[in-house]
A and B are shown apart, each in its own frame.
Chain A
Amino acid sequence: MPNYRIHKTEYIDETKRVSFKYDGKTYFGYEGDTLASALLANGIHLIGRSFKYHRPRGIVSCGAEEPNAICQIGSKKDLTEPNVRATELELYEGLEASSQNCWPNVKFDIGGINNFISPLIPAGFYYKTFMWPKSFWKKVYEPLIRLSAGLGKSPTEPDPDIYDHKHVHYDVLVIGGGISGIIAAKMAAKNNLKTLLVDDKKILGGSTIYQNNESIKIDDKLSSEWLKNETQEIKKLSNLTIKTRTSIAAYHGYNFLLAKENLTDHLPEEKKKNKIRQRLWKIRAKKVVIATGSIERPLVFNNNDRPGILLSNSINKYLDYYGVTCGENIILFTNNDSAYETSISLHKKGIKNLIVDLRKSASSELIKEAQNLGIKIYFNHVVTNTFGYRKINSLEIMRLSEDGNTTVGNKIRLNCDCLGMSGGWTPMVHMHTQSGGKLNFRDDDQVFLPKENSEDQISVGACNGDFDLENIIDKTVNKINKFLDINNQDYQDTKIICSKENDKRNIWLLPNKIPLGKTKCFIDFQNDSTAKDIKLALKEGFRSIEHVKRYTTTGMATDQGKLSNMHALGIVADTAGVKMGTLGTTTFRPPFTPLTFGTLVGRNVGKFFEVVRKTSMHEWHVENNAEFENVGQWKRPWYYPKNGENMHAAVQRESKAARDSAGILDASTLGKIDIQGTDASEFLNRVYTNAWSKLAIGKCRYGLMLNEDGMVYDDGVTTRISENHYLMTTTTGGAANVLSKLEDYLQTEWPELDVYLTSVTDHYSTASICGPNSKKILNKLFPNLDLSDENFPHMSFKEGKLENINCRIMRISFTGELSYEINIESKYGNSLWKMCIEAGKEFNLTPYGTETMHLLRAEKGFIIVGQDTDGTMTPSDLQMDWIVSKKKYDFIGKRSLYRSDTIREDRKQLVGLLTDDPKEILEEGAQIVSDIKSKPIDMLGHVTSSYFSPNLNKSIALAVVRSGKSMKGQKLIIPMENKNINVTVSDTIFLDKENKRLNA
């Protein structure tokens, strides 16, 4: 096996050999490697296939910007992870990785055929081609695209890993642990500011730590040596927290930032177990220092995507940090000085290399050093083509014309096994823009820079466009002193020697004799978009960079265009003949690098996903086979199937039992609000549509609550417990909102009222017993209570004792039957329920759920707010004018009841519907029409509630119908998929219109 690890470095522990699998084959690396560095050490460049053309692709970079080297990690159904960047993944024993987007394997790839038909796959190909016929989408196009466009596989089973969230507050947050970040953090922490320094890498130091050029020195030391010292020093600072392997994902307003800390991703399988995998930090910082550095740019030339073509500085890092050379005969293609550092470093390690430089000439310390070392430099030359299928093996260069628009002279062919490219540096302004900051464009080296720094946020170092060391240190120190309002003198006398870049030449799309249409000048490697695509988009009329981006998909892959956005912009600007600075950029949206779903949800999975509210009778319901329905967060018994009954059968049985003898419902979930105060009656007058002042103590009353717009909001029974004390009930789902609304009015509109509201929903459990035998059951439970109609009539309240425990008993009914609701302190709820069941045995007391409750109330035409109403129904629409007080001067929503819109005759109004075939049950939500022939068919309304009533032995329904109130007896049609159902408009009350059963 070839070995490209050519020298020792302090970052690679050669005593700790690590074995790993890549595409099923076992390789070795060392502790300290990333998957990418270990692969390169094994001579592996080819790592995947491109998205559209399936061209062989290799590792391009050494960091978060990597577009090609994305892998599938692991193969377990619950733990496999797609789209992991090999350049960031730390190697560990037993790591299993495989290349993505290539079938049957990376070396022979059937999709590569796309490469040869690529003239047929221009920008917008997917939009243009996969349009018609429509029926092809599901069966042909989509599976085809999905098969060939595999960006990895998702796990198919729940993630067993543990994730965590943490909230922290700091005076200063420093993002990025490179040289400027370290200086900023030290200055802040030494001035008694509680500081957090985060860096996405394993160790601090950024690109400076492997810098070993003699012409770059601080205090007479190599800059890497100097920085190591600083790093040691800051670790001693007590009010500085350092978090490595931690990357900022999002920068929100008010200096609220999210960071992802990797805790176990670098550990072998057995050491990961039972540990938190990733932690989401929710950081609030008074001030934020952004020191996120810059990313090297590729160059755009024909066939710039072959394996073996990397960013120049990445070659340098692989060499000086990991001890790995990317080739043995390397060419560096550059438009700036930084490639010379790589060249010199390679030269010193004995790696043959030469430089192709776009610039006509250049002079700086670095260039002089390279020239002195005898490194061959082709100034004013451009790479026009590369060769080699699975890896680059040679390239062609040509001389550039004076204006740089074309090539001149003869082609020179040069052999190589690796090409490093450097198109300059792009400051990482993501954090600045995410925080709301604007950008300026610097023409000099074609970079976007933070326009302004606010009082809460500042950018320093390379992300602020300061590239040479002297600039970085001096400016950082000055800016931080000002920003934090401190006077730190630590760097007063720091002596800096560095090479100064004097010459620049930037060409976004490098010239070529070959027509653009026949070239492959890649801009976005991961999404396979080329310079040709951008030009085509412009030709087709796209102008906005946001549109060009979407049409060509440039910058829309998992790397979010970290390497490609600037080139796309540059080419658009050049083609359109506008200044790049005037184009603006595409929006930098969070996250900066992809986050796992696990990190985002943290511990809120499984039973912690959502709050579940259970009544104190819940256990009994479970034991008695109840099916449950979710009502808000509550679990409510839906029905209690017996002996294999389905829902329909169970509900029919329950409904019949409730009317024939007795039924019992767990009504604990109804919202309960305790209302006290000397103005309680007046308050109720104002919030309900009916009058409350005259309600006697010990009596109950049904109330309808409106919104200020006159629409029904909630309903429920309220009981007057004593002179200044009421107990209000609300719908189960509306409880929290009703309380909020009442509090709002009390605090803001009527602060003069002496009223106190307390939510007591959870304090009481409620068993509701109904049916002709309910009085007998009550009598068994409360033998000392006078239950006579004279003493305890409908809509009244009594206190009783169950053994020694106080109960509140309301004789109220939602079923139309004689009915009692027994309220008891929640902790006794289960006992109460069991005692009721026991007492009811001889009367076939049947527990029933929400479905039967809905059926029983529908038989009586009682509405359910939220089912028969939808926020557009007035009391009059519901045929409930009787509950709206004419005498009261005002109540919430009163004025709206006679707005021009609410008094319209043709509003949708609640009616009953009876099907011509009494066995036919309507579907809730079904549309209602009167004339099926005229087109378009006029929709009159829809069915809101529908049941088969066992007590009436026919189907009944409630519906809202335009002008429904005046349509009684009229025939209407419910058109369904296979038939039209004929119905007749009826009264909303189907059973016991005289309310005889209430006193049965």
Chain B
Amino acid sequence: MFLINCPFCGERDQSEFSSGGEAHIVRPKQPTELSDDEWAEYLFMRKNIKGVQFERWNHVHGCRKWFNVVRDTSNDKILSVYKMGEKPPVNYK
């Protein structure tokens, strides 16, 4: 059970959060311009990394804010937490 440091509320139990999958997948600004393949890339393709992964979390039973988490999926360690719209920490790329 993770302890997640919500950027707005501080450390809270994982049961207060819901996970929203891979982060930094931006919805295309002009979906109609995209081919089926390009749209499918946005819609379906996710990395599912073993190791350092950037993911979205929502403090659903708290402030209800979405934010980003850097997590090493091999040991579940959360390496960093940052707000939506902020740049991902470069040292994990």
Contact = CB atoms under 8 A, between A and B. Distances in A.
B10 to A, nearest CB: 13
Contacts of A747: 65-66, 84
A254 B5 CA distance: 13
B16 to A, nearest CB: 12
Interface string A895-916: 1100110000000000000000
Contacts, number: 50
Interface residues of B, number: 26
A889 interface: yes
Contact of B2 (A253, A436, A896): A253
B91 interface: no
A890 B33 CA distance: 11
Contacts of B64: 743
Interface residues of A, number: 22
Contacts of B27: 708, 749
B31 interface: yes
Contacts of B39: 895-896, 899
Given A254-B1, A749-B27, A890-B31, A899 B40 contact: yes
Interface string A394-431: 00000000000000000000000000000000000000
A709 interface: yes
B76 A890 contact: no
Given A254-B2, A747-B65, A747-B84, A890 B32 contact: yes
Contacts of B65: 747
A713 to B, nearest CB: 14
A252 interface: yes
B58 interface: yes
A143 interface: no
A889 B2 CA distance: 41
Given A740-B60, A895-B31, A253 B40 contact: no
Interface in B28-80: 28, 30-32, 34, 36, 39-40, 43, 56, 58, 60, 64-66, 75-76
A708 B43 contact: yes
Contact of A894 (B2, B31, B56, B85): B31
Contact of B56 (A252, A748, A895): A748
Contacts of A899: 36, 39-40
Given A254-B76, A708-B43, A895 B32 contact: yes
A461 B53 CA distance: 37
Question: Which of B1, B40, B56, B64 has the largest number of chain A CB atoms within 10 A?
Answer: B1
Contacts of B31: 890, 894-895
Nearest to A743: B64
Contacts of A743: 64, 66
A775 interface: no
Contacts of B32: 889-890, 894-895
A740 B65 CA distance: 10
A256 interface: yes
Nearest to B78: A254
A517 interface: no
A751 interface: yes
Nearest to A750: B27
A5 interface: no
Nearest to A252: B1
B20 interface: yes
A708 B39 CA distance: 10
Given A708-B43, A747-B65, A889-B32, A253 B76 contact: yes
A709 B27 CA distance: 12
Contacts of A436: 75
A939 to B, nearest CB: 26
A747 B85 CA distance: 9
A284 interface: yes
A709 B28 CA distance: 14
B9 interface: no
A284 B2 CA distance: 10
B2 A744 contact: no
- Most chain B CB atoms below 10 A, which of A284, A709, A747, A748: A748
Contacts of B75: 436
Nearest to A284: B3
B63 to A, nearest CB: 11
Nearest to A891: B31
A751 B83 CA distance: 12
Contacts of B84: 747-748, 751
A597 B18 CA distance: 26
A609 B85 CA distance: 40
A637 B65 CA distance: 35
Nearest to A901: B36
A751 B40 contact: no
Given A436-B75, A890-B31, A744 B58 contact: yes
Given A747-B84, A749-B26, A895-B32, 16 more contacts: A253-B1, A254-B1, A254-B2, A256-B1, A708-B27, A708-B43, A740-B18, A740-B60, A744-B66, A747-B65, A747-B66, A748-B66, A751-B84, A895-B34, A896-B39, A900-B36
Interface of B: 1-3, 18, 20, 26-28, 30-32, 34, 36, 39-40, 43, 56, 58, 60, 64-66, 75-76, 84-85
The 6 closest A-B pairs by CB, nearest first: A895-B31, A256-B1, A747-B66, A749-B27, A254-B3, A253-B76
29 contacts: A253-B1, A253-B2, A254-B1, A256-B1, A256-B3, A284-B3, A708-B27, A708-B43, A709-B43, A740-B18, A740-B60, A743-B64, A743-B66, A744-B58, A744-B66, A747-B84, A751-B84, A889-B32, A890-B30, A890-B31, A890-B32, A894-B31, A894-B32, A895-B39, A896-B39, A896-B43, A899-B36, A899-B39, A899-B40
